[in-house]
Amino acid sequence: ASSSISITVGDILTASQRQPVPQSGYKCLSCCRIFPTLWSVRTHIQHSSQEGYSCKAYYRRLKALWQQ
């Protein structure tokens, strides 16, 4: 069921507000990489499996937990 959940920019912002980043940018909570723009972290999440990360699965699961 969680594989059908789409991750929105709002989801990324909500997650990032819970984990403040010391420098400017947005942190992927799955792999802890920091990106300069919200768009770049969103693109990273969408293509994370091609980079060897499972960030998309992490955010889908996180969103599924929030919806419960």
Kindly give the confidence (pLDDT) of every residue in the chain, 68 residues in length, as a single tens digit, with 9 standing for 90 and above.
456 678 888 887 777 766 655 567 888 889 988 888 889 999 999 998 888 889 999 888 888 888 88
**11 part of a folded domain:** no
Q: Nearest Cα to 55, choosing from 29, 36, 35, 37? A: 29
Query: Which pLDDT value is given to residue 8?
Result: 82
Concatenating the DSSP letter of every residue in 30-63 gives TT--EESSHHHHHHHHHTGGGGT--HHHHHHHHH
**16 part of a folded domain:** no
**40 part of a folded domain:** yes
**6 part of a folded domain:** no
**51 part of a folded domain:** yes
Its domain, for residue 53, covers 23-66
d(CA 38, CA 12): 8
**18 part of a folded domain:** no
d(CA 45, CA 33): 11
**56 part of a folded domain:** yes
Query: Which pLDDT value is given to residue 67?
Result: 84
CA 9 from centre of chain: 9
Q: Decide: pTM greater than 0.85.
A: no
How many domains, the chain? 1
**10 part of a folded domain:** no
